[in-house]
Every structure is written in structure tokens, then in C-alpha cells.
Amino acid sequence: MEIDCMTAKLYSWNVNGLRASMDHGLMDFIESVKPDVLCMQETKIMGNSLPVELLSAGYKLYINEAEKRGYSGTVTLTKVEPLNVTKGMGNEVYDREGRILSLEFKDFFLVNSYFPNSRRNLERLQYKLDFNTEFQRWIKNLEKRKPVIICGDFNVAHSEIDIARPKENQKNAGFTIEERTWMDNFLDDGFIDSFRAIHQTDVKYSWWSYMGRAREKNIGWRIDYFILSAALKEKIISADIMDNVKGSDHAPVYLLMNSEL
């Protein structure tokens, strides 16, 4: 496939700790794929302790850190300086954990997102559902200005094809009917799951538990996405999961767009 200079190479990765990922080949990954933009989630780092190697890699770097040290957080690297950068959704209730980092480019907004986990015993399910509702409202308002690309860890496997053991997990965090119904509604609100637009029936996962050699056995979940406004569907060149890349319990996902940053 011949890709012209108008192609935007967008990558997203829940690194499960930015410092740890540096020790497990993050810089090698960046050098290998040469992203135009790399969005990272669960970075667990404060702005004053970013690795020097990352700061000198030739990218503009933006961070939205959580108030709680060593928790959550998002970081975005970009070759092209954005027109605007926004941290959070403008709602204090949901913006304390550094989960949303939005960059405005010429043709679209790129929203780096790390959705809450419902947690064991679903103790945070209602918080997540409320977060989801606020996020959808905020995104639809943003979309009034220009199309939106949302990437990151949504902490939900949308359909049974997106999880290795659907029956066993129906009442577990990340696969509850409430979370999956929200995902249905969100996509029905004018958005495209880029991976499924290309790979309608492929079984591929982006997260594996560290327990029970789950990754080795490929007992995984697809919970990391590039979701985009339906208006951008025809601009998709390729979208996939790099499930061979190690360094985190998540795999990177990418989206190649026939678009200009």
C-alpha cells in the first residue's frame, strides 16, 4: 500500500506506568513506528518527573496528570504542534484523575482518553457510567466544531467477539451489560469503531491479565480503541492492534488516516 504525505500515523497505548514502559522498550517502540502522534494512558507520572529521553525525542509533549500521585494520567506526544490543547472535560468531578487530554489539529480533534475501571465487585460502576454520560455529552459538543477521533483505554470489551471468555465475565468489570449498552449507544450516536470497520470478524485482543499466563494463552480483552466521527470513516486507511508488542499488559493500537495534522 502506498501512503502519501497526507497520512496521519496515530498510535495509542496504555503503558501501565510511563517509567516502567521506559524500562521495557518504549523508546525503541517510538523509534520503530515513528508515530505522528502517540497517546499514552495510565502514565502514573507527574509533569516534573518526565523521563529526559522522552523530553528529547523530538516531539511536542503534553501531560494531564492526576491529583493523586502514581495514579491514572495521560500523556500525548506529537510531531505537529496542535492548534489548542485542553485538559479534562471542564467538570471538576471527573477531571481530577487526568483521564482526558484533547489536542485540536487542522482537520479533527484527537482525544486521548483513559476511562475509569468499574473495579472488582463493581464498586465504581456508577461513577464510570456517570463519567461515560458526561464524556458523550462533551464529545458531541466538541464535534459541533470539527470531527473527533477518540483513542485510548475504554475499559470495556464491546461485544462477545472482543473477549476470550464472554460467559464467565458477564457480571465482571469491563463486560457488564450497563457498560456494553453505553458503548452501543455511543457508537449509535454517530461514531465508528475503526478496528471493526476494517476487521469485521477478526478476534484480536489488546489487554491480558498478568495472572495465569493469560497473554501466553491469548485469554484477552479488546478494550483499547480508536473511535472516530462517522464523517471521517472514508479517511481510514488502516487500523489494527499490535498484539506482538510487549512492555505493558496492554498492546498498542493504531490508526492510519488519509488526513493532515
Residues that are catalytic: 114, 153, 250
Q: Name the pairing type of β-strands 207-208 and 109-114.
A: unpaired
- CA atoms within a 13 Å half-sphere pointing along the CA-CB vector of 184: 9
Residue 153 counted as an annotated binding residue: yes
Residue 250 counted as an annotated binding residue: yes
**Please, is 121 exposed, middle or buried when counting C-beta atoms within 10 Å of its C-beta (0-12, 13-18, 19+)?**
exposed
Residue 249 counted as an annotated binding residue: yes
Between CA 130 and CA 139 the distance in angstroms is 14
CA distances from 33 to 2, 9, 10, 124, 194 (A): 16, 9, 10, 36, 19
**Contact status, residue 36 vs residue 11, Cβ threshold 8 Å:** no
Residue 42 counted as an annotated binding residue: yes
Residue 53 counted as an annotated binding residue: no
Between CA 151 and CA 80 the distance in angstroms is 18
In sequence order, the 6+-apart residues with CB closer than 8 A to the CB of 83 are 104, 105, 106
Residue 130 counted as an annotated binding residue: no
Nearest to 89 by CA among 104, 99, 81: 99
Binding-site entries: 14, 42, 153, 155, 249-250
List binding-site positions for Mg(2+): 14, 42, 153, 155, 249-250
